[in-house]
Amino acid sequence: MKQADISKLGKYEIEGELGKGAMGVVYRGKDPFIERFVALKTVRTDMLKADDPEATTAQITRFKREAQAAGRLNHPNIVGIYEYGEDGPTAFIAMEFIEGRDLKDYFDKNERFDVKTIVRIMGDVLSALDYAHHHGIVHRDIKPANIMLTTAGAVKITDFGIARLESSNLTQAGAVMGTPSYMSPEQFMGQQVDGRSDIFSAGAVLYQLLTGEKPFTGSLTTIMHRVLHSQPEHPSVLNVQTPRAFDQVVEKAMAKRPEDRYQSAADFAQALRVASEKRLAEPASAAAEADGTVMEDGATLILKPGQDDAHPAHELSQESAPRRPGPAGGLSVKDGPARQEGPKSAKDGGTGGGKGVLIGAVAGVVLVAGAVGGWLVLGPHGGDRPVVPPSQREQPPLTPQAAEEAQRQAEALARSQQAIAEAKRQAEEQIRAEQAAAAQRQADIQARTDQAAAEAKRQAEAQARAQQVAAAEAALGSIRTVVNRAPCSLLWADAATDGAVTVTGAMGEANSEAQLRALIESAVPGATYTVKTDTVSPILCDPLEAIGHLRDRNQNLPQPVQLQPTNPGAVYKDRQNLILDLRGPGFPAYLQVDYFTLEGYVVHLWPNGLEKDHKLVAGGQHRLGDPTGGGRFWTIGQPFGRELIVAIASARPLFPALRPEAEQAAGYLAELHKALEAAGRNATTPPVATALFITTVPN
């Protein structure tokens, strides 16, 4: 419990803060005269919207109605109301202080109840509702958060007279929009409700008690469609421990038409008791009989398909394993390389004897050759006198003149040889220099040739690009006219720097790229272009068709309407805020911004209940969905895919009054057509529009 920021309200002493709501704070208080603890629910009138006195009056009236409604009731399963009072700017309700938790807290923590406890809880809830209905009070907001369980296990219903939507997809500041999983069909349709609406909501709570799941989930439009048109799975399908007798009880309590439901909470409670008695008499679970074998001790054996005879597919049986062939198979497999054996003796049949014969023959040839050489050197006498070579024979000595001449001739020969070597070197250098010069001249000629060829090629390419750009620019206007008029499409045609025209965007499933190409080629024969488009749901074709001519007009403005996503690529993930930047046209205009979903609904982003002033000055800017801006904000949820956002600018408001936050797209488009026709007739500046696809994906 938090420390309170005030010390007293009326006669009550404030001891702490229990929690905060949308309009105020709930405190733990004490009546000093009778020593009784109370819960003080407050609302600060000065914190409500000062510029909307009607909304302020409505919120105060609803707060008083809660005190009046619950104050008329005295039932052990309804939280008692002691007093309504005002202390300065703070209005408060003093009510019974409950030590315990609400059912939503149990569900959030995945805590479950057995069937006997569920029947007791629902019996107390229905008893309290039956009492309230007989006293002319319809709760209109039965849900787990408004059903308390005390620490002793007693049931207490809270918050009479307050109707509020819960959201898991588009969450708005101040008023929450999204997942009203406990609301009756007549509440969604805005019809008059009676006690049978509470019976539907109680049936939804019973469904969650039995299964642990809400009966209807998804985005606001998804839940609305399912509540109005489809039944949830039977509880026994989601939880095999739920007796089948409860399926009929839940189905009747949540019937679409009020006349098909239980006509009173007492009838609902009686049917629940009968189903509980049938449960005690039922045999073993039918689900267990269908899905498994019931054992003697009551346990259920579940057999998965193939579990009894499956074995790993990669294992080889003994019969399928490859075998190594033996001698009978014709081949023997050795485990290692063959051992290299030494030479065998001749008697062993090896090659050792052959090698010995070869060596003996070679030795004999060498001996014969030596003998012949010795005979040639020594002569036939066998070496009686040695033979002296001429170079070793004694020569007569030279005279001094002869020695000098020999020296002179030797030096002249050396000089001649040196001169010849120098001449050869110089000749070789001259040849190399001439070859290098010739190669350089050839390289220069080739470089000039290559440069001239490259320049000619560059000029040719530049001329070709210029011609291509000119042709693309000539064709771009016609292509843009074609793609803007293509049915069920949101396309853009742009020319790149190389002159290529690219058509990008999205088209409905009934309009293929082949059809788009046929339209372009019939309007601009011979045009060069590429097409890169995505496919969107045909359900978005009608809103695209409705603003087709308005988009043409917008593109021709010097300062058109612009709608920009804050996320790159206009991709938003689950539970992420949807934030958009909007820029008005070049004239003062009223902006109508609509979100068309894949389920056939439209959510009006601007204007809305918190931001009614939707006029921008010429070229004005506005950010939608920023939680820090104090206006509405939204978060992304299921279903995921490509959805459409449209912004229409008009000199006068299109509609005389604020439209509901969400409605069927078909009905809205019919009224939008009429409004646009009237705006075009009565205004000097006709309306213009732009559109944007966003992609929503799981987190």
What CATH topology corresponds to 100-281? Transferase(Phosphotransferase); domain 1 (1.10.510)
Using the structure block, give the residue that is written with the tokens 């073993």: 284
Describe the strand order of the beta sheet including 81-87 as a list of residue ranges. 8-9, 12-20, 25-31, 36-44, 90-96, 81-87
- Residue pair 57/91 in contact (Cβ under 8 Å)? The answer is no
Q: How far apart, in whole angstroms, are the C-alpha atoms of residue 661 and residue 208?
A: 28
Examine domains 100-281 and 453-536 and report if their fold is the same. Answer: no
5 is an active site residue = no
Model confidence pLDDT, tens digit, residues 631-668: 889 999 888 999 999 999 999 999 999 999 999 999 99
Q: Are 253 and 206 in contact (CB under 8 A)?
A: yes
For residue 579 the two structure tokens come to: 């934030």
For the segment(s) 8-96, the CATH number from 3.10.580.10, 3.20.20.80, 3.40.50.300, 3.30.200.20 is: 3.30.200.20
Query: Is the pLDDT assigned to residue 522 strictly greater than 70?
Result: yes
Q: Is the pLDDT of residue 2 over 90?
A: no
Alpha-helix residue ranges (DSSP H) falling in 486-566: 513-523, 541-546, 548-555
Backbone angles phi, psi at 221, to 5 degrees: -70, -35
Report helix, strand or coil for 340: coil
Position 638 scores a pLDDT of 86
pLDDT of residue 467: 78
Alpha helices in 486-547 (DSSP H): 513-523, 541-546
The pLDDT tens digits for 63-106 are 777 777 777 788 999 998 888 888 888 889 999 999 999 999 99
Query: Which pLDDT does position 220 carry in this prediction?
Result: 82
In degrees and rounded to multiples of 5, residue 50 shows phi and psi of -70, -25
C-alpha angle 386/389/391, rounded to 5°? 145
pLDDT tens digits along 177-230: 334 789 999 988 888 889 999 999 999 999 999 999 999 988 888 888 899 998
pTM here is 0.42
Please state, rounded to an integer, the average pLDDT across all residues of the chain. Answer: 79
Residue with tokens 């000089």: 415
The pLDDT value given to residue 406: 73
Catalytic residue among 102, 141, 159, 594: 141
For the chain, give the percent of residues with pLDDT over 90: 44
CATH, range 453-536: 3.30.300
Q: Under CATH, what is the fold of the domain 539-697? A: Immunoglobulin-like (2.60.40)
d(CA 507, CA 517): 13
What's the confidence (pLDDT) of residue 390?
44
Q: Where are the domains of the chain?
A: 8-96, 100-281, 453-536, 539-697
